[in-house]
Amino acid sequence: MNRSYLFIPASNAGMILSSMILETDAIIFDLEDGVALNQKEAARTLLRNGLDTLDFLDKDIYVRVNAADTVFFKEDVLLCQHPKVHGIVLPKADMTSFLSLTKTLQPMKPTILLIESALGVVQLPQLCQASPHVIGLLLGGEDLSADFGVERTKEGHEIDLARKLVVLHAKAFNLIAIDTPYVDIEDHQGLKKEVRYAASLGYDAKVAINPRQVESIHQALQVDPKKIEEALSIVNAFEMNITQGIGVFNLNGKMIDEPIYRKAKQVVIKAKKEGHQT
């Protein structure tokens, strides 16, 4: 599963080129906020040529199109039919904009819904079930706080309810949960803290708005080696006990049962994926 999604402005030739070799797991080429209004068509042309030419290796390629109520939407969506585009990021997602997308993009592609309006948050249950092509939810804290008419703070209390609702719906409908960007690109400690907080809620990944944020995101999402050791001892003990018909037992003073085993197993699987010896 992707841990990082890096936004690359589709108008920037140098960044498109260098995105091939960046460490991010996935790239979101941005035709929306990252591109000036008078550069939209030129960015689309540049991106199309870049997709035709460059090899992005094993990275998932997404495109954030302009909002469904703009004149750029249709052409942006048509570009997403390009075979190298894995999926689409739909900004200001609500049922109306999603319907516009399904009418414009045939066949549909995997879609990440950018939840950045109060309406989008309220419509989460419908949006999550709107199509099997919906694969993920991305929280957009900046636009969301603007929609609420409140100040966006580093602590993020103004978006906390939405942050929890987004991950709740993602888990309920088996979708990827991607946390909002951290806009202070110099503050790596603050970024790591926010990534760990989002991960503690259940978020799977974080958006990066600068290549330098990617490493911090990956570091913050790594499994703690102490937890791997503990999880391994739980998994081994549970699997041994269960063969003898014992489903609940005491391990170093802690009660171990099926849910705790399952959580420990998840930690072990994640650690294996990260290349830890287990």
Partner 1 sequence: MIITKTSQAGTLESNDIVVKLMPNPEGTIQINLQSVVFKQFGKQIKALALQTLENHGITSCICDLDDKGALDYVIQARIESAIQRNL
End-to-end Cα separation, the chain, in angstroms:
19
CA 19 → CA 16, 50, 51, 112, 209, distances in Å? 5, 11, 12, 20, 12
Within residues 48-67, the interface with partner 1 by CB under 8 A covers 48-50, 52-54
Q: Closest by alpha carbon to 233, among 219, 247, 221, 250?
A: 250
Does 12 interact with partner 1 (rule: CB under 8 A)? yes
Minimum distance, C-beta of residue 49 to partner 1, in the bound complex (Å): 4
Q: Which two tokens stand for residue 176?
A: 């990827």
Minimum distance, C-beta of residue 54 to partner 1, in the bound complex (Å): 8
Does 36 interact with partner 1 (rule: CB under 8 A)? no
d(CA 13, CA 90): 23
Does 219 interact with partner 1 (rule: CB under 8 A)? no
| Sole binder of partner 1 in the list 13, 99, 161, 246 (CB under 8 A) | 13
With the CA atoms of 135, 125, 78 and 5 taken in that order, what torsion angle do they form, in degrees rounded to the nearest 10?
-40
Does 41 interact with partner 1 (rule: CB under 8 A)? yes
Minimum distance, C-beta of residue 86 to partner 1, in the bound complex (Å): 20
| Sole binder of partner 1 in the list 46, 105, 166, 170 (CB under 8 A) | 46
Q: Which two tokens stand for residue 142?
A: 């900046």
Minimum distance, C-beta of residue 212 to partner 1, in the bound complex (Å): 17
Q: Which is nearer to partner 1, 54 or 108 (CB)?
A: 54
Q: For residue 107, is the peptide bond before it cis, meaning its omega torsion is within 30 degrees of 0?
A: yes
Number of residues that bind partner 1 (CB under 8 A): 14
d(CA 156, CA 160): 6
Q: Which is nearer to partner 1, 31 or 176 (CB)?
A: 31
d(CA 132, CA 68): 20
d(CA 124, CA 13): 36
d(CA 109, CA 132): 10
Does 129 interact with partner 1 (rule: CB under 8 A)? no
Minimum distance, C-beta of residue 59 to partner 1, in the bound complex (Å): 18
- Name the segment binding partner 1 (CB under 8 A); options: 45-53, 217-225, 243-251, 256-264: 45-53
Minimum distance, C-beta of residue 39 to partner 1, in the bound complex (Å): 9
Does 84 interact with partner 1 (rule: CB under 8 A)? no
**Do residues 184 and 216 lie in contact, with contact meaning Cβ atoms separated by under 8 Å?**
no
Does 17 interact with partner 1 (rule: CB under 8 A)? yes
Chain residues that interact with partner 1, rule: CB under 8 A: 12-14, 17, 41-42, 45-46, 48-50, 52-54
